[in-house]
Amino acid sequence: MKVLIIGGVAAGTKTAAKLKREDRSAKITVITRDKDISYAGCGLPYYVGGLIESREELIVNTPQKYAKMTGVEVKTGKEATALWADKKQVLVKDLFTGEEEVCSYDKLVLAVGASPVELPVPGMKQQGVFKMRTPDDATAIRAYAEENQVKKAVVIGAGFIGLEAAENLKTRGIQVTVIDFAAQVLPNILDKEMAGYVKKHLLKEGIRVITGTKAEEVVGNGKVTGVKTSAGFLGCDLLITAAGIRPNTEFLQDSGLEMFKGTILVDNTMKTNLEGVYAAGDCVMVTNRITGKPQWSPMGSSANMEGRTLAQLLSGKNKTYPGVLGTGIVKLPGLNVGRTGLTEEQAKAAGYEVVSVLAPTDDKAHYYPGAGFFITKLIAEKNTHKLLGVQVMGPGAVDKMIDIAVMGLNMGAALEDFENADFAYAPPFSTAIHPFVQAVYVLLNKLSGDLVSMTPAEYAEGKAKGYKVIDAGLTPSIHGAQYVDPFAVNGEIEGLDKEEKLLLVCAKGKRAYFLQNRMRFYGYKNTVVLEGSTFFNDVKVENPEGAVSPEEEKRVKALGFLKDKNTLDRFNGRVITRNGKITAEEARTIAEAAELFGSGEVTMTSRLTMEIQGVPFANIEPLREYLMQAGLETGGTGSKVRPVVSCKGTTCQYGLIDTFALSEEIHERFFHGYANVKLPHKFKIAVGGCPNNCVKPDLNDLGIIGQRIPLVDMEKCRGCKVCRVENNCPIKVAKVVDGKIVIPENECNHCGRCIGKCPFKAFEEYTNGYRIYIGGRWGKKVAQGRYLDKVFTDKEEVLAIVEKAILLFREQGITGERFADTVARLGFENVQEQLLTDDLLGRKEENIKAQKHLTGGATC
C-alpha cells in the first residue's frame, strides 16, 4: 500500500508513525512545506516567555530522526498545489527550486493543518508584527523582543494562543494589551460570566484587556509603534496577531472535495467523499461527541488522536472516531482555566433544557500549605440530569477536574453517577469530598429543590432587582446589607418579613445555603442563594445606608482605598503612577474616572501617587475596572513593597542617571513581582538622579542615588593657584594641596560638577554609578539611611541589592518593625555583608514560601 500524507505536524506524523507500526510493508511518504516537522505548536508561547529555553526543545522530531525511527520517508520544503482524485495523483511543488512533480498514491491523507488568519488591516507588514504558529515565529518574536528591548506589546485575539502569548510577554516584563473583536475573552470557549471573571483577573494581574474592539490600522514608519483601534490608539513596540486560524485547504477548492467554510468534511472513519482520500487534524470538520453535530475543533490533542485512529483504519482495523468534546485548558498568570463539553449557551442552542450551577470550593484541604480554590460551573440536562459541560478555574490542578468531566461525558454520565465516586483523597491533593463531587452535590440540591439559587449570569442580568440582600458571611462585609448569622437563627429574624424576597449572600455560598435551610423551616418563603456569592460576584445593595463595616474597610484598604473619616462610606483611591510620571492619556483617564466615580477631585500624595477623592463604597470596583482597562491600577498600601518614587533624572540639570527607566524596572520587578509577598512592614524605595536628594532616597527603606565618579588624570593637573575644580565643588571638599588637586574619597558625593571644569583636561573622564542607602525612614519617626561602602557601576548589581534587601527584611525582620529597625537590630555591617553576597538569593524560594508576617505592621 502506497500512502501519501500531506502535512507533517501533529496529525500527519502521528498517522504515518502508527500506520508504519501497524503495517511495516506500507510505503509511506510525508510531504510538508515547512522545514520542521512534529513540532510542539502549543509550546511556542512558553518559548517566547523563556520557560522553554531553546528552540530545539520545541522540535519533537527532526525529519532525519523521525525517518530513521519510523521508516517513513519525509520530504520537507514541498507544497501540494493540486489534487486529482480520479487519477490518484497530487501535484507537488519544490519551494526551493520551483520544480513540480506528480506524486501518485493508493491512499491519501490530508493533514494540512491551519494557518493564522491574515487580518485585513493596513500596516501589517511593519517590522515587529508577528503571528504565532511555527517555531520560526516564536524564535523571531523572542529575538525581536530582546534585541529591541520591547516595553509594550499588543496582542490581537483573546483566545487560547492570544492569552498564552500575553502571559509570556508579561513574564518578560513587557506591558501587554489584549484586544478582541468579540464581546468577551475566550469566545465560544467559556460562558459570558466565566469569561468576565477571567477578564477581571487578567486586569488585576496587569494585563490590559479590551473586548468588543476592532483593530483598524497598524501604525509605524517601517517599525510598529502602535495600533489604531475602535477604542482608540494603543502604543506598542511589538504586535502579535492571534485572531484565529483557517484551514490550509485553498489548493483543494477545485478538487471535488466536500468542504464547509474551508474545513474538510469526513465521516466517523475520517474518510472524505473522494475515493481513497482521508483527512485529519486542524483542517477537518469532525462531530461533537454529545450532540452528534459537525464541530471544528483544531487542537493538538484531537489531531493526534484522529491520526492514530486513522492509521488503524488504514491498516484494516474496525475503528471509528467518536468525535470531540472541545476540551481545552489554558495557563494564565495565577489562574488556570479549563473547559469541556457544551457551554450553557451552546447547550441551549442545541435544544437541551439546561440547568447549571456555579460552585467555588477548596482545591485541597484548606489547612494544607498552598491550598487554593476551584470555581466550577456544571451544565446538565434538567430532566435526565445528564452532564453536558463543565468549566473550571483556579490557581492549581484544574486539569484533574476537567479530566473527570471528560470521562463522565464520554460515558454519558448523569450527575448521580458522580455522587459517591471514590476519588483519591489526601490533604496535599484534594478535599475529603472531592471538589468535583461537591459541585455535583450543589447542582443535585438545586434540582431537588433543597437549594433555591440564582446564578451569577442571572444576577448580572438584573434578576435580583427587588430583593433585599442578606449578608450571611462570617462577619458583616456587604455595605448596606442586613447581617444574619446562619447559626444563630432559631426562629423568626427581627426586621425580616416572611413574604419578602431575600437574596442570601456569604463568601462562597455555603453559609447562605445553611441560612436558607433554616429560614425555610421557620416559614420564610422567598429566599434565594446567590451562587458564588461575593467570591465570584460584585454584590451591591441599592441605596445602601450606614457605615461600611470594618472588615470591608480593611479589604478595600488593601486595594488602595482609604476611608475619608468625615464620611460614612466615602474613600480616596490611590492610582499607581509607577514613579510619578504618567502619560497624557492616563491623566485623561484618571480625570474621567474622578468625575464618573468620585467627587471629581484628584490629589497628589507625597509618594507621587494620584488619589481620586470621594469615591462611594459602591463605586470602588467599577472605578478599579475602569482604570484597569486603561492599564492603570490602584494600590500602594499594606506591608509590602510600595510603589517606587523618582526624581526627574536626566531631565533635570543635575540629573546623572535615567531615574524613570530604573524606577520603572524596579516597579515591575519588585512592586509587581513581589505583589503577593508579605513583609514585616511597608518597604519604600526612592530613586534619585543626583546627590541633591530631592525625593529623599536617604529617608526611604532603600534609596538609590545616581553618581558621577571623576577619573582624575593627575599628570594633567597643573596645581593652578585659582583652581576651577576647587571653585566649582558645591560641597567644598576639592582642595589644591602641595600643587595638586585632592578630593577625599570618603567626602566626595560624586555629583559630577567638576567634570569638564579643568582647562587642562584633568577632569574629563568619569564613571556613572549608583550609591545605595539602606535603613532610612520618615514619618512618625525619622532615621537617616546609611549608604553601602561600594559605589555600584552595574545596574543589574543594583537590582540584585534591592532584591536581597527585600528578602533580608522578610527573612530576618520582626513583624511590625520597619526596615530601619531591622538594620539597627542586626547591625549595619552585618546587613551590608549579607547584601554584598548571594546567600539570600540562594534561599529565595524557601523564604518566599514561608508563612510569615501574615498580619504585617503597616497601617496605611
Residue pLDDT, tens place only, 362-398: 999 999 988 999 999 999 999 999 999 999 999 999 9
Residue with cell string 531591622: 822
* Residues 359 and 433 sit within 8 Å (Cβ to Cβ): no
pLDDT of residue 607: 83
Quick: pLDDT tens for 723-765: 999 999 999 999 999 989 999 988 899 999 999 999 999 999 9
Do 228 and 270 sit in the same domain of this protein? no
Q: Is 807 a member of any domain?
A: yes
**CB of 598 within 8 A of CB of 613?**
yes
**256: phi then psi, degrees, rounded to nearest 5:** 90, 0
Contact 12, 109 (CB under 8 A): yes
- What are the backbone dihedrals phi and psi of residue 413, each rounded to the nearest 5 degrees, phi first? -70, 145
CB 135 within 8 A of CB 44: yes
> How far is CA 397 from each of CA 49, 371, 403, 775, rounded to the nearest angstrom?
21, 11, 10, 42
Domain for residue 29, yes or no?
A: yes
- Positive or negative, the CA dihedral 195, 199, 201, 202 is positive
Confidence (pLDDT) at 583: 87
Q: For residue 839, give the H/E element and its range.
A: helix 839-842
Could you tell me the CATH number of the domain that includes residue 188? 3.50.50.60
d(CA 829, CA 827): 6
Q: Does 60 or 495 have the greater pLDDT score? A: 495
pLDDT > 90 in the chain, percent: 79
- CATH number of the domain that 486 lies in? 3.40.250.10
142 shares its domain with 211 = yes
Q: How do residues 398-436 score in pLDDT, each as one tens digit? A: 999 999 999 999 999 999 999 999 999 999 999 999 999
Helical H segments across 315-351, by residue range: 344-349
- Secondary structure (DSSP) of 745-807: TTT-----TTTT--TTSTT-EEEEEEEEEES-B-SSS-B--EE-SSPB--HHHHHHHHHHHHH
pLDDT tens per residue, range 303-318: 999 999 999 999 999 9
Domain-located, residue 588: yes
How high is the pLDDT of residue 779?
83
Question: How far is C-alpha 840 from the geometric centre of its chain's CA atoms?
Answer: 28
The residues, any chain, with a CB within 8 Å of residue 679's CB and separated by 6 or more, are: 639, 640, 641, 806, 809, 810, 813, 853, 856
The residue segments making up the domain with residue 788 are 638-707+768-860
Q: Quick one: 721 and 690 in the same domain?
A: no
Confidence of residue 323 (pLDDT cuts 50, 70, 90): very high
Mean pLDDT of 499-517: 96
Tell whether 42 and 58 lie within a shared domain: yes
**100 and 89 within one domain:** yes
Range of weakest confidence among 19-28, 547-556, 639-648: 547-556
Question: From CA 447, how far away is CA 424, in angstroms rounded?
Answer: 27
What mean pLDDT is predicted for residues 496-518? Answer: 96
Q: Is residue 327 part of a domain?
A: no
CA distance 16 to 26: 10
Distance CA 476, CA 463 (A): 23
CA-to-CA dists, residue 405 to 91, 244, 386, 835, angstroms:
45, 26, 12, 51
Task: Answer whether residue 62 shows pLDDT above 90.
Answer: no
Q: What is the number of structural domains in the chain?
A: 7
Statement to judge: residues 507 and 581 lie in one domain: no
Do 788 and 834 belong to one domain? yes
Q: Is residue 515 in a domain?
A: yes
pLDDT band at residue 38 under the 50/70/90 scheme: confident
**Does one domain contain both 648 and 780?**
yes
Residue 281: helix, strand or coil by DSSP? Answer: coil
With beta carbons less than 8 A apart as the criterion, state whether 699 and 778 touch. Answer: yes
**Residue 48: per-residue pLDDT:** 86
Beta strand ranges found along 365-490 (DSSP E): 373-381, 387-394, 453-454, 468-471, 482-483
For residue 269, what are the CA distances in angstroms to 276, 280, 341, 508? 12, 10, 22, 46
- What local confidence, expressed as pLDDT, does residue 804 receive? 98
Q: What is the pLDDT of residue 34?
A: 84
329 in a domain, yes or no? Answer: no
Same domain, 374 and 438: yes
Closest CA to 306 of 329, 289, 330: 289
Q: How far apart, in Å, do the first and last CA atoms of the chain sit? A: 77
pTM, rounded to two decimals: 0.84
The domain boundary, picked from 223, 243, 263, lies at 243
Let me know whether 171 and 220 are in one domain.
yes
Domain harbouring 667, CATH code: 3.30.413.10
User: Is the Cβ–Cβ distance between 387 and 341 less than 8 Å?
Assistant: yes
Kindly state whether residue 76 falls inside one of the protein's structural domains.
yes
Nearest to 527 by CA among 500, 507, 556: 500
pLDDT band for 275, please (50, 70, 90 cuts).
very high
Q: State how far the alpha carbon of 784 is from the alpha carbons of 632, 730, 777, in Å.
A: 33, 22, 7
Cell reading at 135: 517555531
Q: How many residues does the chain have?
A: 860
- Identify the helix (H) or strand (E) that includes residue 110: strand 107-110
pLDDT of residue 291: 95
Reduced to 3 states, what is the DSSP secondary structure of residue 120? coil
* Mean pLDDT, all residues of the chain: 93
Q: Do 437 and 584 lie in a common domain? A: no
Q: What is the mean pLDDT of residues 228-256?
A: 92
**Which one of 629, 653, 670 terminates a domain?**
629
List C-alpha distances in Å: 797 to 364, 686, 771, 836: 40, 17, 11, 9
- Where in the sequence numbering do the catalytic residues fall? 42
Please identify, among 449, 481, 502, the residue that sits at the C-terminal boundary of a domain.
Answer: 449
Residue 450 reports pLDDT greater than 90:
yes
Q: Report d(CA 185, CA 199) in Å as an integer.
A: 7
Sign of CA dihedral 72, 73, 79, 80: negative
Q: Determine the pLDDT at residue 386.
A: 98
Which residues have C-beta within 8 Å of that of residue 404, sequence separation ≥ 6? Answer: 418, 423, 434, 436
Q: Are 270 and 178 members of one domain?
A: no
Residue 835: other Cβ atoms inside 10 A: 22
For the record, the C-alpha cell of 126 comes out as 511593519
Q: What is the DSSP string of 639-652?
A: SSBPPPEE--GGGS
Contact 268, 290 (CB under 8 A): no
Bridge partners of residue 503, in order along the sequence: 469, 528
Average pLDDT, stretch 86-98?
A: 93
**In a domain? residue 320:** no
User: Which residue matches cell numbers 442580568?
Assistant: 461
Q: pLDDT value at position 581?
A: 85
